[in-house]
Amino acid sequence: MILKSAEELNLFKEKAKSNFEITEPGAMKIIVGMATCGIAAGAKPVFEALNEEIKSKNLDPDIIKVSQAGCIGLCQYEPIIEVYESGKEKVTYVKMDAEKAKEIINNHIIGGKIVVDYTIGAEITDKKKQYDTLLKKEKKITDDLDSEVVFKFERIIRNKAGIGIVAIKGNVCMGCHMILPAQFSNNVRLCEEFVFCPYCSRILFYEESPEGEEVFFNIEESGALYDPDEDDDEFEEDDKEEEKISSIEFEE
């Protein structure tokens, strides 16, 4: 839908509002987010549990209405239910399951008491607390570090789904699975400075291969970042090594 003017937007808003408006005294409307995201998160059993509980507690389904809605827009908090009651603020419950849904019916719908622990407000407060704790921890750890490295690292973890430090095994970056020049492996092993992967930019740390043996790769064959100075006699050729080379996955 394309809204072309403020007037149209207002009309749309009023129409949407009327869908959730409760006119009958004592009536309540429970909306369950049932878009694909909601269903994938388990909205269906929640929807069923709400209806079953309403039935088993002999509530009038015309007064306490359960209906489905599309995506409520907070996919990470699904399954979500919203409770609408005349003259009151909407209450949004997140990360629902069938048991919690029954509690909502008994405590909120019948008992009139909002189950604060399950509300989005509680969820956000909880997340905020976790965030503050992590921030303090981070500060403690990074206080003595070079601020430029910290800045770079923060940028990496934002871009790389939270993984900013990866092992280099043999000459392979375990973040992007690219073969790096032997010089990188050596520098990482020396631990004298921060070494960033030239492909994925993650910080590298050295890790022995599982068998405790060193694995070297033919840099010429990797076709990238070849440095003739580093092409020394470290390259080994036996069947075992070849197996390892062929098992490496390449990504862009």
Q: In terms of CB distance, is 109 or 204 closer to Zn ion?
A: 204
Backbone φ, ψ for residue 117 (5° rounding): -55, -25
# residues near Zn ion by CB under 5 A = 6
Nearest approach, Cβ of 34 to Zn ion (angstroms)? 41
**Whole-angstrom Cα Rg for the chain:** 28
Nearest approach, Cβ of 173 to Zn ion (angstroms)? 3
Nearest approach, Cβ of 249 to Zn ion (angstroms)? 13
Q: Roughly how many angstroms between the first and final C-alpha of the chain, as a whole number?
A: 38
Q: In terms of CB distance, is 199 or 205 closer to Zn ion?
A: 199
Give me 59's structure tokens: 């509530």
Three-class secondary structure of residue 230 per DSSP: helix
Quickly list DSSP for 162-182: T--EEEEETTEETTT--B--H
Q: In terms of CB distance, is 164 or 175 closer to Zn ion?
A: 175
Strands 91-93 and 172-173: unpaired
Q: In terms of CB distance, is 35 or 174 closer to Zn ion?
A: 174
Nearest approach, Cβ of 179 to Zn ion (angstroms)? 10
If one asks whether residue 37 binds Zn ion (CB under 5 A), the answer comes out as no
Q: Which residues 163-202 are close enough to bind Zn ion by CB under 5 A?
A: 173, 175-176, 197, 199-200
x/- site string to Zn ion, residues 61 to 100, per CB under 5 A?
----------------------------------------
Peptide bond into 79 cis (omega under 30): yes
Q: Are 121 and 163 in contact (CB under 8 A)?
A: no
Quote the CA–CA distance of 212 and 210 in Å, as a whole number: 5
Q: In terms of CB distance, is 101 or 197 closer to Zn ion?
A: 197
Residues near Zn ion (CB under 5 A) are: 173, 175-176, 197, 199-200
